[in-house]
């Protein structure tokens, strides 16, 4: 069959720190009156698999489509699954826990979890919003472990004021947290392994605290980098790491861009709208909040309305 740009059904995740702003910002049909912290736009994990929402392949999972059409989807990339990206929108109505994700060496050494490197593109930041990114200089494992006991872990992290349009890269092993009042587009490797070390002493509706993973976190944290040497970018090539590359696009006026055969890419639409016209006459429309999966073999043209902003993610 003639492959085409794929759109997916979002997977909504309730989170203790979530809210309702994904409906406001991206018109997501999230459950009302529930704390929805994450909308997974593209996923290929064992328990969470994106399902195609448009065209002839509607109802099939991303993984099954790639299995049927590996060369057409992935090009000359040798693919063994799962698809190596997880793309989300986050609504941090409240602060997230202080946490860390392991790197490949830690996963191999401990036999636990899956590695996770990520980046955060700030879509919206309320006045005074911050993130916590990396440890302050001089913080070692003993000092950090003592802070866990004392409940003041957050004081050892670099607190970074943020604003819309920034992209913050967080390699695996970076201790971090997201402050309240932020809408974020998160691009990461395909892992949901999170080790929490401090959750600001909060409890859920049943009065129960969330599980902490102190031993695993202390095994995973890199105690050498500090937050002031972790990159932040705002234009052009935002991230260029071994797992993915991210470029920011902003079309100030109506614009058409040709899509030729090449590597697979994902477009995360941050603002505006447009459509994709295939050489076969097919049409796929997109708007803010969409994640568009472009197969490697696809040819066509993207037509952007004025003031459309987007991220192009390649692997």
d(CA 308, CA 263): 23
Sheet of 308-314: strand order equals 237-240, 245-251, 308-314, 265-271, 291-294
Task: Using alpha carbons, select from 187, 36, 191 the residue that is nearest to residue 120.
Answer: 187
Is the dihedral angle over the CA atoms 230, 132, 96, 112 positive or is it negative?
Answer: positive
| Catalytic residue selected from 196, 210, 237, 261 | 196
Q: Which helix (H) or strand (E) holds 248?
A: strand 245-251
- Judge whether 137 and 185 are in contact, CB under 8 Å: no
CA dihedral 25, 29, 30, 31 (to 10 degrees): 140
**Could you tell me if 135 and 145 are in contact, meaning their C-beta atoms sit under 8 angstroms apart?**
no
State yes or no: is 196 an active-site residue. Answer: yes
What is the distance between the alpha carbons of residues 107 and 138, in angstroms, rounded to a whole number? Answer: 25
Active-site residue set:
196
């Amino acid at each position: 069959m003639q492959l085409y740009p794929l759109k997916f059904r979002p997977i909504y995740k309730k989170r203790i720190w979530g809210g309702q702003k994904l409906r406001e910002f991206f018109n997501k049909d999230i459950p009302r009156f529930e704390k929805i912290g994450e909308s997974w736009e593209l996923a290929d994990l064992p328990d969470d698999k994106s399902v195609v929402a448009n065209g002839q392949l509607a109802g099939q999972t991303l993984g099954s489509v790639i299995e049927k059409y590996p060369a057409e989807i992935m090009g000359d990339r040798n693919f063994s699954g799962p698809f190596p990206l997880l793309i989300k929108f986050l609504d941090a109505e409240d602060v997230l826990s202080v946490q860390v994700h392991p790197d490949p060496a830690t996963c191999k050494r401990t036999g636990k979890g899956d590695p996770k490197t990520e980046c955060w593109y700030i879509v919206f930041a309320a006045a005074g919003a911050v993130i916590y990114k990396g440890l302050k200089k001089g913080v070692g494992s003993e000092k950090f472990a003592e802070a866990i006991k004392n409940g003041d872990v957050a004081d050892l992290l670099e607190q970074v004021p943020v604003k819309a349009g920034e992209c913050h890269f967080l390699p695996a092993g970076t201790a971090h947290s997201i402050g309240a009042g932020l809408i974020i587009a998160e691009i990461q490797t395909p892992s949901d392994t999170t080790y929490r070390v401090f959750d600001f002493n909060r409890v859920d509706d049943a009065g129960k605290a969330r599980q902490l993973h102190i031993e695993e976190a202390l095994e995973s944290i890199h105690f050498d980098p500090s937050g002031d040497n972790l990159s932040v970018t705002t234009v052009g090539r935002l991230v260029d790491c071994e797992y993915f590359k991210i470029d920011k696009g902003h079309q100030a006026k109506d614009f058409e861009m040709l899509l030729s055969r090449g590597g697979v890419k994902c477009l995360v639409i941050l603002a505006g709208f447009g459509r994709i016209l295939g050489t076969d006459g097919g049409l796929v429309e997109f708007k803010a909040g969409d994640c568009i999966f472009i197969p490697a073999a696809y040819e066509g043209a993207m037509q952007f309305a004025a003031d459309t902003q987007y991220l192009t993610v390649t692997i």
